[in-house]
Amino acid sequence: FLLFLKLENKTKGKVQKKICHVVLDHFEKQYMVELGDTWTSVRNVLTYPLCWQYAILMNKFSPSAELESSLREKGCHPAFQGPLPYLPASLKCYVRRTPGRFPAQKHQAGKLKEYYLLNAASLLPVLALEVKDGEDVLDLCAAPGGKSVALLQCAYPGQFHCNEYDELRSRWLKQTIESFIPDPLRNLITVSKLDGRQIGDLKSESYDKVLVDAPCSNDRSWLFSSDIQQATLRLIQRKELSCLQFQLLRSAIKALRPGGSLVYSTCTLSKAENSDVINLILHSCSNVMPVEISEMAKALSQEFTFLTGTQQHELLVLPEKGRAWGPMYVAKLKKI
């Protein structure tokens, strides 16, 4: 615990990262139109990392009562409270109102980590998916593995398939699973490097639940691109992302069994990559229907800020000072 405190103190006093103005200018034009006045407050959070907050997801496979107690003493509280439709007691995540990052634990072969640092909003897709013991689950775009770890805090799937197409990210995913999941359970997890667009054909109607945490224009990281050429290229390629996201969703629907549920998520504010993609799927796939998740947003309104005016099967978390979670878009569908 003393080491924990020392490491936390080391993270204080860090220098503000430099903003990439090519990306910021692009976002200004788009989000002023899509978000209106709301964009100003969101931009103030996104461009000022020193006000960002980090959540601590406890690992039930390596429990530490001492750490949990000390987090409470330091002013942390559970991120998820209230009348949520789905909240397993085994999913424990702590947050605090003040900004700052806790130290990440280093990977040590043969030793499980006690907690995972993440943006608290990234757990909302996991809560929306509502995985139950014995269900067959696919995490289609699983790296770096935080949502896979969170899913396993909630339930014990029958089969759990974690897929990541990118070679480097796939190695990262494997290390995350090795760091958090014990051997007996790890042996039940399949990790693959398949093209997510093809999984629907390869694994037709094989899963009860599918998570599509899609590749997207990550607003937080893109704003701090250090290479101007790379940033410019990203912005050009941004237009193609919605096509990829649509193809991944169509593949995920094929992989679902009738009656199964799918959750789609991104960490961007972009309408083209969020509601537009879901609307296109709903109009082009007659075998899926939207599932209402607005109750989840109501239950979490004390801890998260949501964009108003979204449809009942979707939500968008907006970063706000003191509640600097997101961006995180979540939508839920069911296969008929």
Structure tokens at 208: 């009860």
Q: Which of 20, 162, 267, 285 is catalytic?
A: 267
pLDDT of residue 17: 80
Exposed / middle / buried, residue 314 (Cβ in 10 Å: 0-12, 13-18, 19+): buried
**Residue 320 structure tokens:** 């706000």
Q: What's the confidence (pLDDT) of residue 11?
A: 45
The b-or-e profile of 142-175 (16+ CB within 10 A means b, else e) is bbebbbbbbbbbbbebeebbbbbbeeebbebbbe
What pTM, to 2 d.p., does this model score? Answer: 0.94
Q: What is the pLDDT of residues 203-238, one digit of tens each?
A: 999 999 999 999 999 999 999 999 999 999 999 999
Tell me, what's the pLDDT at 14?
53
Q: Which domains does the chain have, with CATH numbers?
A: 21-51+119-335 (3.40.50.150)
Are the CB atoms for 270 and 216 separated by under 8 Å? yes
Tell me: is residue 213 an annotated ligand-binding position. Answer: yes
303 is in an annotated binding site: no
pLDDT at 102: 85
Residue 142 annotated as binding site: yes
267 is catalytic: yes
Whole-angstrom CA distances from 145 to 116, 142, 178, 213 are 10, 5, 10, 11
Residues of the chain with pLDDT under 70: 1-16
Helix (H, G, I), strand (E, B) or coil at 173: helix
The pLDDT value recorded for residue 3 is: 44
**Residues near 25 by Cβ (< 8 Å), separated by ≥ 6?**
none
Asked if residue 259 belongs to a known ligand binding site, the reply is no
